[in-house]
Each structure stands twice: as structure tokens, then as C-alpha cells.
Structure 1
Amino acid sequence: MSLWTASEAAEATGGQAQGDWACNGVSIDTRTLQPGDLFVALKAARDGHEFVAQALDKGAAAALVTHLPDGVAENAPLLIVEDVQQALEALGRAGRARLGPQAKVAAVTGSVGKTSTKEMLLAIFGDQGKAHASVDSYNNHWGVPLTLARMPRDTDYAVIEIGMNHPGEIAPLAKQARPDAAMVTNVAAVHLEAFKDVAAIAVEKATIFEGMEPGGVAVINADHDHSDIVLDKALERGLRETTFGQAGHHYKLGEVKVQGDTTVAQAEAEGAPLIFKIDTPGRHFAMNALGALALAEALGADRALAVQSLGRWSPYAGRGVRERIQLDPVDTHLALELIDDSYNANPTSMAAALEVLAASEVTHDIGRVSKGRRIAFVGDMKELGPEALALHAGLADLEATRALDVVHCVGPLMKAFYDNLPEHQRGDWTETAEEMLQGLRSRLDSGDVVLIKGSLSMKLGGIVDAIRKMGHPVPTA
């Protein structure tokens, strides 16, 4: 069964279909387009209409456009609309509307942990039905409608990630998704360039509930300082509230232990004892997992099966995934451990990543340096507003930071962190990640555990790639 026929897409968008086509997917990028996709010619850094001919040559079923692009045959399969972005949103709303009455939609927002929590929910729901979710961090004005437009007709569970950079962005996206349950993972000092303070961020996060009908379920982290703002909004909308966290009333997190490459947590779920594990180290993952369990149960998922699903979950590239890099092709003992958390960074997630590194077990007496080391390469955290330098400098005061052996810093903001470190912990500081690549191998040795963490624009992924190329990556999970 096709995802969209020409007539269905035309009816949904109010556009004019040219040709009798049907598509099996929706794409906005010719680099990842698959044969049979509907290519959406959005305007971003470049006008997508410039790539329509290429998309059709690659096997696109049709293209969503405002006019006949240059180099495209007059009888090419097209869906012609007045505005491509608005048409994509309309297609997404139609995708949501045609789900069966038994299908459930979850939405996830928060300052930290949105993507990891979304992936946990996808793992849970995927083991209990046909599940669909946002790809990567497709959580903005085009990512949410694209996810909805891609949703198969027979979806049982959908998980929609919703993000923001400025006020007023979340509510319109939530109204497109119309979730049956929505979760706010937390509220933290992120995007402060666009907000007065953290309380204002809480107000914006809480607008996710504006897309919900009365009687839906609001899943709220009770541990942050502004949880009352989020809770009040949920109650104002007539939603049923479920809280989680160490201060949670419904799902209460107890002791969390990091044991090697596994995190084990004790908790209470609606008063009943609960033990669950995650196949990756990190206390912050335990909190996200508890919220995921709360939301999954709110939508009818089986708790025992959900716990089993979490036990098999681990993060993917750039978000805390761990790899063993074998530095010698013969002697398998000569290796280091790499923690790739290079996709994003803010004060909360940076502190969590440093805690993971501090708790990691190093290996002694196998490299040229007899002592295995906990080494961090950290880059600037962006969009923190006037407090940016203070927030970076404050990383040096964290208990986790004191447990590290060497910290290398990248970027002008991270210079504040570097300068605030004790002399014995200072590695190198460079303006750019590219400069840090010079002499990288000499900074590392077998037995080390190495964390890479920074905002995506700092391009610390290049350091990750360089470390991988030093040897033979072996997944630890």
C-alpha cells in the first residue's frame, strides 16, 4: 500500500496533482532520497526547486513544488501548491488525521534528552506494535510535519520529537501532532539568547500541551525548579498529569548504579517496586528511561515488556555511544574507549557527560603511559546568552570534573573553562576542532577513556572521526 496517492496528496494540500503517481516515502534531501519518494522542494540554504530534476532522475515518484522548475519536463509528476512549507504541514496534519482510533501519538520536548527519550519510546513501542518516530533530531518547523507526512497508515504508535530555539515555536508543532500523551523531559539553561530566563523556557516547553485534547496525559519531570509552571499548564488544559523523577509522585526514581557499561535503577511505579537497566552508562539515561516508562504505560504499553526493551537500548552516534578503538591490529589489549557525545551540548548535558566519564573504568599498564586516563575534549556550548562565559567557567567546579585526568578545550567560550581548571588537568586549548587535530594521536594512549562533547557547530565530530581512524572501532554493545 502506498503512503500517498496523487489524489490524496492533492486533497490534503489543496494543490494540483500532475500525473497519476503514488509515493512510498517523503524526502527533502536528494542525498538521502529513495526511489518512490515524494520530493519536497523546501527553501532553506538553497531553493529545493533547484534539485527537482535531480530528484526525479534518482527515481522520485513526484515533486512538491510551487511551479515547474527549470530542466523539468512539462508532463513530469508534480504536486503544485502555493507554498511548499504550508503544503508539507497540511500533508502532515492529514497523515495524523487518518490514523485509526486505536493508534496513539506521543510527543516529547525538553531542554535535554529529547532525542534519547524519543528513541527509548521507539524501542518500547516497536516491540509492542508498529511504531513510527522522528528521524535523528527532526523536531523543528519542517521536521515535525515531515515526520507526520511519512507516517504509515497502519501505525500503532507514533513518537514525535518537538524542539525550539525561540518563543512561540512549540505550540504550532504540537497542534499538528495532536498527541495523546506529551512529555517534558526537563527544563534547563538552554537557548538563553532568546529567553529572559529559565522560567520563560519552562513556559514555552509547557505549550506542548496546547496541542492536546482534554483527558490526554501530561508526563512531567518533577525534579527541576520550574516543574510547577509545566504542571499548572497541564492542569489548565484539563490533562491527566503523571510526574516522574526523584520527587515524582507517580514514578519515583531511587538508587541508580553505573556498573561497567550498564546502568541499573531502582524505582517505584505507581507505588510498586520497579528495577530496570539500560545497556549504556549514565544516570541521566535512567531518568529519561523512567519518563519513557511513564509515558509508554499511559498509552497502554505493557510495563514488563517495556522494561525488557529498555534493557536492550543504547544511544546512537553522537549522543553518548561508546566504542572500543583497537589501536594495534595484533595485540587486542592495546585499545582505548571512545564516548561520542559530539552532537549537542548545554550545561546540563555537559555535566551529565562529564559524570559518565568520571565514573568510567580506565585500564592501567597497557600503554606507553602506565596509567589509564579519563580524557575530555569539550567544545563551546552555544546559545547561552549573557551568562555563557560564567556557565562555561563553572564546569571546572563540578565534582565530576575533579575526577578527570586531562581536559582539552575547543572554542573561545571553552577558554573560560580551561582557564578555571587546575594546572594539572589542563591539556590543550584551541580555537577550532581542526586545530585540535594536530598532534591528536600523541595525546591519547591505550587504556584511556575519551569523551568528545560540544555543540554541533563546533565540529567535534571531526575529532571523533580522527580517533576512529587510529584503529579498528569495535562496538561495545
Structure 2
Amino acid sequence: MLTLDIIANIINGKASSSVDLDKKISGFSIDSRTLTPGTVFIALQGEMDHGNRFIDKAIEHGAVAIITDQQPELNGMSNAVPYILVDDSLAALVKIALHQRNAFKGKVCGVTGTVGKTSVKEALSFLIRKSGLTVHASEKSYNNHIGVPLTLANLDLNADIVVIEMGTNHPGEILSLTQLVRPHVAIVTTVGPGHIEFFNSVSAIAQEKVSIAATLVDGGIAILPADSEFFSLMNDIVIKDYNRNVISFGKSETANVRTVSVDLTNFHTLHINAIVMDTPVSYDLPTSNTAWVNNSLAILAAAHAMGLDTTALASHFSDLPLVDGRGRVYSIQVNDKHITLIDDAYNANPLSMKAALETLSTYPGRKVAIIGDMRELGSFAEHYHIETGQLCRDLALDQVLTCGVLMEHAHNELSTPQRMGHVQEYQQVLSILQDTVQEGDVVLLKASNGVKLHKVVAELLNASAKAINS
């Protein structure tokens, strides 16, 4: 276990006289609100405030020391507050992360992709635990230049496997993260125009994503999507530039891990027959969201690469707890009408929007799509929103309510009977839905997180719970 003395040496920091250097610590935190006793609080520079502003709260919640790059102003608190002064707090966090990664003896799996990285990270971690192994995983969507080193800093050195999510919205970001992670297995779930505002093309995004494999350890394996139009590009980079092996997954008959058949049963379960490196595997997914087929294949490929029993692991797919905001299905009441609600409101890009709308189209009954802006598409934004409207029209969805400035382009592509309305703000969505909902409707909500359709989902769920309990 780390002590404050070891930490001070790792980060080349100057400890105040009140620091108990022999004190053992339980972890690291950058958020004074969620900090637990025994933790070291790392005061980072935020967009609005420096973490030093929250030192008093951190101490109140049980922080044993503060790491900071600004001399603390203790605001009337005792001068006995223990702190370690460094040149750069974020650089100190990275140093701790590197120390912990070097000390870790288990397997490391990195996950990235335009769509599905958080879902794959969560599901893979769940299935590893079900297999009887211990796993440490990124919390929430901690996948950036702060979240990744924080995950490594808090690494349980006794874990068998660590699963770390890595995201990007600028060229070179994945490479900087994977240099910290140094995975044994590197997964690219999908490649699409997410965050394309900051890249010149989807091809450039593919090159960014596959750079997760640049620091694979000796014998490491990249898990790549065979159905991507950029598979050959990524495959060549891994094999020729990185000198590492590839396991491919997808519907393609040439994929190492591939589907044989996919059947939807009861509109809530997908039954999959697959081949995993020449071995037949069958399993059920507790969702109608076909994007999960791709996710499950990536998971099985990674599990094989880590030497796990894929048949045993696949038997637990049916127990997966789906993540809120990523395709979770609810049966709820709205104005005494019973409807099916598909909550996919956490985020959206053209690839995930297409998958969600196609899944909605498979349901029986009246299909209602409530869709909001897809952000960070830059000069491509109009094109992809027009495509979304055309897809809604081609899928013959019954009603489509669009929300946001960009989604007006989609609204204009809809057939007249489909047009449920167009609004600029999420606050207007609920009343329109309540006024138009019909018994048996299947309602999808999906948008980039900034559109805040997740708040509409929360209101619908709360209202339904009150109606049922009244």
C-alpha cells in the first residue's frame, strides 16, 4: 500500500511539516464531493476554479493530504492541513499513474471506439467478475487525459484484469493515453464520424482510434471491427507499423469472431449464434438494440485474447445490467397510456443514431422517435442531420419529434405525416409527448448529452412511478 512518503518521492513534491509521511492512503480523488476517508485530494486547475478552493471540503470528507501546485490559502483552517506542493498537479497525477501501471502484474485491456466503448468496458468488466476473476475498471466515462491517469492511480494491484476506456476528440489524444495504459489487449469497437469536427475525415478518426494499439505489450493483440470500411487500414497499421497481431470481429465471414445468426425474441432479447476462433458459441442478450451484437463480439474476442473461457463467459450475457441512457428499455405509463420507452439519451453520433433508429423500426406498434442534435460534427453537421431525417423517412417511423438547431435539417426531410413537431429546447418535448402519446407506443429518445433529453427520460420515469404507486 502506498504511503505519503512514497507518493511525495514519486511526484518529487515538497511535503508540508504537517504531513504524516508514514500514513497509508486508500486512493486518490479530484472531486471533494465524492472523496472518501483515507484518500489524497489532488487539486487540479479546472475551467472555472482551481482545486485549492475545495481543500476545506476535502479535509472535511476525510482527505489525509492534498497534492497541489499552488500554495494553499487555508481560509482560517488550521495550519496543520497536510499538503504536498508540486510544479504541476496533473503531471503529478500522471506520475502516480505510471508508478501504479508499472507495479501492476495482471492483464490490461484498453477500449476505444466511436460507439460502444463505455458499454463494452462495463459489460466486459461485469463478465470477467462473473467468471470468478477480480477486475478494476474505469469509473463512469473517465476516458480522457484526467480520467485515465486517475483510473490507473487508483488501480487495485491485486486485480486480475484492468479494463480502461479511452476517448478522443482531438488527434493524438489516444496515443498519449495508451502510452500510460500499455495494454495487453486493445479494442476498437467501431469507427464513425463522432467528433469529426476535430478531424479531417473518418479515415483520420480510424487512424486515431487504432493508435490505441501502438503501445501493446509484447504479444499484445488488437481487437478490430471487420465490418468497418477502414478495417484494412487499421489492420495494416497494427501488423506492419506496430508489429502486433489482430483478432477481427463482426458479421463478415472472414472475421475471427463472427455471427452465424441473430434472432429477436419477445422484442427484448437477442439470441446469438456465433463463432469464436472456430468454436461455436450461443448466448442471449437482454436487449433489442442490435448495436449490442457488435459489442458482444468485441467482448468475446477480447476475452479469448486474454485467455478466458469464452463459452462460460458468454453464458452470463443474459445477466448483463444495461447502462442508463444507452438503450435501456422501460415499460411505463404516460397519461394512463402504457408505452415502451427506449432510453438512449446519453449521447449520439451518426453511427449510434442509425443503430438506434434501426432498432426502433423492428418493434411492433406505433414507433415514435424523439431525436436531438448530434454535436461536434463541425462542417459535416448539416450532412449527417439530413441523412438522419432521410433514414427516419426510409424506415417509415410513425412519428418523429426533432429537438435542436441542427435537427431541423432532419425535420425537413421527414414526410408530412411523420412530423410530430420541431422544438429548440428539451423543456418543450415532454408536453408534446404527453399530448400525442397513444396506448402501446414505442418511444425512443436519443441525442448528444448536451441536448439534455436524459432530463425528459427522468421526468417520464418519475411521473410513471408516481402514477403506478398512486
What's the TM-score, normalizing by structure 1? Answer: 0.91
Report the alpha carbon displacement of residue 141 of structure 1 after superposing the two structures with TM.
0.4
Distance in 2, matches of 1:39 and 1:335, equals: 47
Report the alpha carbon displacement of residue 214 of structure 1 after superposing the two structures with TM.
3.2
Distance verdict in 2 for CA 1:377–1:451, change over 3 Å:
same
- Aligned: 1:50 with 2:56: no
Match for residue 93 of structure 1? Answer: 98
Match for residue 279 of structure 1? Answer: 286
Match for residue 234 of structure 2? Answer: 230
Greater shift, 374-383 or 247-256, is seen at: 247-256
Match for residue 258 of structure 2? Answer: 252
SS of residue matched to 1:469:
helix
- Aligned: 1:146 with 2:154: no
SS of residue matched to 2:214:
helix
Structure 1 residue runs without a partner (length 5+):
363-372
- Aligned: 1:208 with 2:208: no
Greater shift, 272-281 or 162-171, is seen at: 272-281
Match for residue 293 of structure 1? Answer: 300
Structure 2 residue runs without a partner (length 5+):
none
Distance in 1, matches of 2:212 and 2:412, equals: 40
Do 1:175 and 1:212's aligned partners in 2 also have CA atoms closer than 8 Å?
no
Do 1:13 and 1:91's aligned partners in 2 also have CA atoms closer than 8 Å?
yes
- Aligned: 1:113 with 2:116: yes
Among candidates 419, 434, 442, match of residue 426 of structure 1: 419
Distance in 1, matches of 2:258 and 2:163, equals: 23
Distance in 2, matches of 1:151 and 1:73, equals: 32
- Aligned: 1:454 with 2:447: yes
Report the alpha carbon displacement of residue 156 of structure 1 after superposing the two structures with TM.
0.7
Amino acid at match of 1:410: C
Distance verdict in 2 for CA 1:249–1:327, change over 3 Å:
closer
Match for residue 324 of structure 1? Answer: 331
Amino acid at match of 2:463: M
Distance in 2, matches of 1:31 and 1:281, equals: 37
Distance in 1, matches of 2:186 and 2:444, equals: 32
SS of residue matched to 1:23:
coil
Match for residue 263 of structure 1? Answer: 270
- Aligned: 1:7 with 2:13: no
- Counterparts of 1:27-426 in structure 2 under 5 Å? 27-45=29-47, 46-70=49-73, 71=75, 72-100=77-105, 103-127=106-130, 128-235=132-239, 236-247=241-252, 248-259=254-265, 260-327=267-334, 334-362=337-365, 373-398=366-391, 402-426=395-419
SS of residue matched to 1:471:
helix
Distance in 1, matches of 2:99 and 2:344, equals: 36
- Flag as ranges the 4+ runs of structure 1 deviating above 4 A: none
Distance in 1, matches of 2:393 and 2:64, equals: 52
Distance in 2, matches of 1:197 and 1:449, equals: 35
Amino acid at match of 1:295: A
Report the alpha carbon displacement of residue 253 of structure 1 after superposing the two structures with TM.
1.9
Report the alpha carbon displacement of residue 470 of structure 1 after superposing the two structures with TM.
2.1
Amino acid at match of 2:245: R
Q: Deviations over 1:286-332 (max 9, x none)?
A: 1111111110111111112210222211421111111222458xx8x
Greater shift, 395-404 or 205-214, is seen at: 395-404
Do 2:248 and 2:255's aligned partners in 1 also have CA atoms closer than 8 Å?
yes
Instruction: Tell me the C-alpha RMSD between the 2 structures.
Output: 1.9
Distance in 2, matches of 1:134 and 1:209, equals: 18
Amino acid at match of 1:80: L
Match for residue 467 of structure 1? Answer: 460
Greater shift, 251-260 or 176-185, is seen at: 251-260
Amino acid at match of 2:250: G
SS of residue matched to 1:153:
coil
Amino acid at match of 1:10: A
Distance verdict in 2 for CA 1:153–1:213, change over 3 Å:
closer
Distance in 2, matches of 1:403 and 1:149, equals: 50
Distance verdict in 2 for CA 1:400–1:428, change over 3 Å:
closer
Do 1:283 and 1:352's aligned partners in 2 also have CA atoms closer than 8 Å?
yes
Do 1:379 and 1:409's aligned partners in 2 also have CA atoms closer than 8 Å?
yes
Do 2:334 and 2:437's aligned partners in 1 also have CA atoms closer than 8 Å?
no
SS of residue matched to 1:193:
helix
Report the alpha carbon displacement of residue 442 of structure 1 after superposing the two structures with TM.
1.5
Q: Deviations over 1:224-266 (max 9, x none)?
A: 1111121112112121211111124311223212222111112
Match for residue 24 of structure 1? Answer: 26
What's the TM-score, normalizing by structure 2? Answer: 0.93
